[in-house]
Amino acid sequence: MYFFWFDHFAEHNFTEDAFSQGSWADIEDLYGLYTIQVGIRNQWLYITDEDGLELHTSEIHAQEKVKMYFYAHTMAKQSHNLVGLPAMEDDLRECDKVWGYPYSN
């Protein structure tokens, strides 16, 4: 599952900015509830309301509009799990330039 979220992290240039926003129903359809829950549980991502208040899992369904963010530092630190996968080498080098992981630390 980390591979899935790291791929999205790379697509969004390893940013801490919101990478997805809109209606909860659309975001849930796009990424899947289970996938989102695993990301939250592993502290790879978090969800806020429109005002920027972080939501707990039980509060998300009550929101009409949400924003989703990566815990960028955590995502970068865990990128060492992908070292050795040839398909990921370019993204890992870029992540290292931005966050100093997985190679510099």
- Residue whose token pair is 């939250």: 40
Reported as a single tens digit per residue, the pLDDT across 62-85 is 888 999 999 999 999 999 999 999
The answer as to whether 24 is a domain residue is yes
The answer as to whether 105 is a domain residue is no
Peptide bond into 102 cis (omega under 30): yes
Look at residue 102 and tell me whether its pLDDT is greater than 90: yes
| The pLDDT of residue 56 | 83
The answer as to whether 104 is a domain residue is no
Taking the whole predicted model, whether its pTM rises above 0.85 is answered as: yes
Count of the separate structural domains present in the chain: 1
Q: Which domain holds residue 10?
A: 2-99
Within 10 A of 26 (CB to CB), how many other CB atoms are there?
Answer: 13
The answer as to whether 15 is a domain residue is yes
The answer as to whether 70 is a domain residue is yes
